[in-house]
Structure 1
């Protein structure tokens, strides 16, 4: 059920209500009168800190317990998002088209926004069936009511939150779609549609243009496929942008990764390889949110898009290809395809004189094994101030990051006897050597984010849900606004 938020001045006595309780049940709305079961809720919340449903005479109320602030504020904010998710699960058992939220005087503005964020994102489900182009989603209008003592939230803030959540939904939808519904050409059409809707420009390069650009990595990976690769360039350049040179976002767009000659055989690894374009989906969702919310930032997205198939035309271990940069690469593992297509995009980014380049990719199983699904791995050559700011945004959005090193010694892991560099080291430090490979193609401030672990979950995790999560959209939206707008 798709949610959008609005401000309402007064509570309705009949509209279903989410009531965020104060520490001592203070400031109880008069609409609840004597029918609100205060004593029973006090007893319930002594043992349980999860929301519950109350059926009054003419109203359904979802009571949310008070959560005391903790020293680490970002932890409290995440708890509020989780409470929002739990209420979303309660709501799913009813058929509402309108709901109101009463904000208690004790609740801070940021806590309420996090609760609403969790409520929205926790309501997500993938509801597209077969080859239909339509999503069968109802809408739910959530009206936010403030007490006289509450720090209010402006309608514009609620609309921006709605748009950001919509962008995460969009990202999740792209990841969750079956692979035959997002083959490169179809994916390109969807990107163009999103650009028209949100207000950013799109260029979709065909095979001939990719050949003209000499993108040997993208061409090499795609040569086994029956589907031509595309390269998508997304440009959001508002007149009031605070940056003269663009922030460039590069997203891995492998629409299905069978592994090539190094065939993936394990389940469920192969089953979820429709998610290997998660980095590109997050870039699309992020630029969609920035554009629709009129954030004054000049941003360019670069998305190399192909599948990684197997055929007698495909790359095999031992092949040597020439990249767009002119560097030669020995292919030691065809399942290391993401870094090949990303390297061509990174080389093209040099022509844009970027202020900063951030790439996102579901790149390595090594990153998954290192930190699990609780966070993403990042590394890069940019200054420490920006790295720490990125980590802070990761905490604030609870899309946490762990920095891995790019020590010079790791370059030796990628030495080749027949080319400038090989694509996979075949040894230790797989996530790092993948980043080290990408570093070979950059000469600008750069951050690499390996989101392989949190981008797609095999079981539900609070408001992130199951399957595609939209990892990176909220994090980078927060980071870019904090650091550049």
Structure 2
């Protein structure tokens, strides 16, 4: 990743340094102001007394930055505040052309959160620009955390997680002509080589042999073949006897098929429809980089959804990998067809738990916006509670929707086992209810990341474009489970 993280026991006397001060600080201690002239110390004290939360001091040979922590209702919200401060601080670092920043935390718990916000803000998609000015690397190259309240191991772990988020963002930001289903599979293979997990890619012939009717149907209108990528991270000493399986939607571009999306505003950003698959490989990458002792398998069915050639049509009936039949009422409700095949395939691993991630419905986005993730499933309450707590700690918060029996009526079909559309209301739930039919035999949770996975305007450290949503959430949940 472009921004390197490091640990040091102390910082040089002349260095660009940010000091994280405890809430309520009104005067600087000796260690935070040893090289400041008295008038400058008095200036900072006045700023602190006036309630300033971010203070910048130019020493000409170096800079001092002071960030004042806040005590929020929960520790998770206090950490999120410091991530936001990291985002705000980055603008000053950019203006001052800071290349290496030392982080000195005087609160005892804030360095990692501030560094996380800084690093996520510093992300830049390499893109495809050829102009030399636009290709200029950012000034900030290195972030060094110092002091006794943070360890080198914690810094290395954060760097591994951030690398997973960066990978997911890069994949989501890549356009479809640079990331076909085959190229997506190649990228996942490369990630496995780099991080240390095994990757197997099933091609069209093997997918046909497995009779994955959902994936094959969506692929019918495409000039490109589908792929089904199986990633397995199985370290020695894994603490779980049965694997945890992560499933990610991999629609690399979605026109809506014959049920064509409108444009602009509907189709022009649909390169992001594989963000669930990106989250899965990003999570596997972070787990493997950090050598988390957990056996985890990732499944990513991938294709684009186009209206050409032999494209599947509303009214078609398809037979899924599980053997269930589905009446297609709308070809733009295609993601659940891919996921259903993968969820049924997951049963072969006798999993302890299955989590799926998908930019699945506009209904979820309209319900809670980009501020959270819709989830639902059949896992026990302790699993759902642990996921929600992980969501709070990473600020990738979860809102649980019900899967009541009555919602099964939404996906009834007159001529098949079920239909793929549901009703006009409760669209996110009917999609989840559809997926539930393919999860027999194991506990399961579904995450609809439609709104936060891709942002159309900058939003703090999440940036613009691909956000890498759910990588930090899934990692936080899984590492604590290990």
Query: Structure 1 residues 36 and 144 mapped into 2: Cα distance closer, same or farther (>3 Å)?
Result: farther
Q: Describe the superposition over 1:34-68 as per-residue Cα deviations: whole angstroms up to 9, x where unpaired.
A: 2672333344345564424321142122222x223
2:227 pairs, out of 225, 230, 254, with 230
Counterpart of 1:447 in structure 2 is 445
The residue that corresponds to 1:101 in the other structure is 103
Q: Distance in 2 between matches of 1:359 and 1:408?
A: 21
Partners of 1:163 and 1:289 within 8 A in 2: yes
Match of 1:34 among 10, 33, 37: 37
* Cα displacement string for residues 68-119 of structure 1 (whole angstroms, at most 9, x for unaligned residues): 3233221111001111111122222243332212222xx122x221111111
Deviation at 1:427, TM superposition (A): 2.1
Runs (5+) with no aligned partner, structure 2: none
Mapped to 1, the partners of 2:39 and 2:434 lie a distance apart of 62
| Number of corresponding residues | 474
CA distance in 2, matches of 1:221, 1:142: 45
> 2:16 corresponds to which residue?
16
Give the 5 Å matches for 1:146-165.
146=147, 151-165=148-162
Residues 113-168 of structure 1 show CA distances to partners (whole Å, capped at 9, x for unaligned) of: 11111111111121221599xx974561222222xxxx421111101101111111
Paired position in structure 1 for 2:469: 471
Rate the CA distance shift 1:171–1:47 in 2: closer, same or farther, 3 A.
Answer: farther
C-alpha spacing 1:57/1:266, structure 2 compared with 1 (3 Å): closer
Q: Residue 124 of structure 2 corresponds to which residue in structure 1?
A: 125
CA distance in 2 between counterparts of 1:233 and 1:34 reads 60
- Shift of the 94–178 alpha-carbon distance from structure 1 to 2, 3 Å rule, reads farther
Distance 2:44 2:126 in 1: 35
* Alpha-carbon contact 1:204-1:231 (below 8 Å) kept: yes
Deviation at 1:9, TM superposition (A): 2.8
Distance 1:177 1:391 in 2: 30
Partner of 2:144: 143
Partner SS, residue 2 of structure 1: coil
SS of residue matched to 2:216: helix
Which deviates more from structure 2 when the two are superposed, residues 277-286 or residues 179-188?
179-188
Measure the CA separation in 1 of the matches of 2:230 and 2:136. Answer: 30
**DSSP 3-state at the match of 2:301:** strand
Equivalences for 1:349-428 in 2 at 5 Å?
A: 349-428=346-425
Quote the residue 1:338 is aligned against. Answer: 335
Does 2:250 correspond to 1:253? yes
Moved more, 42-51 or 461-470: 42-51
Question: CA contact under 8 A between 1:128 and 1:136: conserved in structure 2?
Answer: no
SS at match of 2:421: coil
**Structure 1-normalised TM-score?**
0.94
> What CA RMSD, in Å, does the superposition of the two structures yield over aligned residues?
1.8
Q: Tell me the secondary structure at the aligned position of residue 37 of structure 1.
A: helix
Q: Which ranges of structure 1 fall in alignment gaps of 5 or more residues?
A: none
1:77 counterpart residue number: 79
Cα deviation code 1:308-345 (max 9, x no counterpart): 11114101110000000111100000000000000000
- 1:172 to 1:136, Cα distance in 2 relative to 1, 3 A: farther
- Which moved further from structure 2: 234-243 or 263-272? 263-272
Deviations 1:415-436 (A, max 9, x none): 1111110000132100000000
In structure 2, the CA distance between the partners of 1:175 and 1:336, relative to structure 1 (3 Å rule), is same
TM-score by length of 2: 0.95
